Amino acid sequence: MIMNSGIPLEFYLVLATVMFFTGIYGFLTRRNLITMLMSVELILNSVNINFMAFNRFLFPGKLEGHFFSLFVIAVAAAEAAVAIAIIINIYRRFTTINVEDVNQMKY
């Protein structure tokens, strides 16, 4: 029943970790809002991979991992839409999408 063909779990996890930290790195270092959004997507997708991988290897008969991944994708889509709307508005207001320049609400 279980398709233990080839790729072991560790590979998935390594991939997910690399993606996760790439996302974190991008999120913390990039000043461009779009890039930051992309980094967040990377983080979310690394989580998705984890979900799928664990679901597959630990509880092959169940579907919760898949459901969660789908949820995450849906939420990420919604979030991207909202975020991009905000970014567009910020761009219109400040003519920049650099986060450091958007500091009117500071303190």
Partner 1 sequence: MTDFGYTTWILIIPFVTFLILSLFGMKLKGLPAGLTGTVALGLVTFLSYFTAITYFTGGGISGGSFQKIVAANAVWLNLSDHLHIDMGVLLDPISVMMLVVISTVSFMVHIYSLGYMKGEKGFERYYAFLSLFTFSMMGLVVATNIFQMYIFWELVGVSSYLLIGFYYDRPSAVAASKKAFIVTRFADMGFLVGILLLSFTTKTFDFVTLTDINGPAIASKGGAVFLGMSLMTWSMIFIFMGGAGKSAMFPLHIWLPDAMEGPTPVSALIHAATMVVAGVFLVARMFPVYYFAAPEALQIIAWVGAVSSLFAAIIALTQTDIKRVLAYSTISQIGYMIFSLGVSGYGGHDGLGFMASNWHLFNHAMFKALLFLGAGSVIHAVHSNDMKDMGGLRRYMPVTNITFLIACLTIAGVPPLSGFFSKDEILTAALHHNKILFAIEYAVAGLTAFYMFRLYFSVFHGVDRHYHHTPHESPATMTVPLVILAAGSVFAGFLPFSSLVTSDGVPFESHIEWGVAIPSVAIGLLGIGLAWVMYRKETTLPDRMTSLFRHSYKWAYNKFYIDEVYIFITKKVIFRHISHPVAWFDRHIVDGTMNGIAYVTQSVSSMIKGLQSGQLQKYGYVFISGVIALVIAFIYLVK
Nearer to partner 1, 10 or 100 (CB): 100
Taking the complex as a whole, the smallest distance from the CB of residue 7 to partner 1 amounts, in Å, to 27
Q: Which of residues 53-82 bind partner 1 (CB under 8 A)?
A: none
CB-based contact 80:37 (threshold 8 Å)? yes
Of the candidate spans 3-11, 49-57, 83-91, 97-105, the one that interacts with partner 1 by CB under 8 A turns out to be: 97-105
Q: CA-CA distance, 102 to 69, in Å (whole number)?
A: 33
Which H/E stretch holds residue 43? helix 33-58
Sole binder of partner 1 in the list 28, 61, 92, 95 (CB under 8 A): 28
Nearer to partner 1, 24 or 49 (CB): 24
**What's at 106, amino acid-wise?**
K
Secondary structure, 3-state, 47-74: HHHHHHHHHHHHCCCCCHHHHHHHHHHH
Report if residue 86 touches partner 1, rule: CB under 8 A: no
- Widest distance between CA atoms in the chain: 58
Sole binder of partner 1 in the list 11, 14, 18, 29 (CB under 8 A): 29
Report if residue 24 touches partner 1, rule: CB under 8 A: yes
CB-based contact 19:38 (threshold 8 Å)? no
In the complex, the residues that contact partner 1 under the rule CB under 8 A are: 24, 27-29, 31, 36, 99-100, 103, 105-107
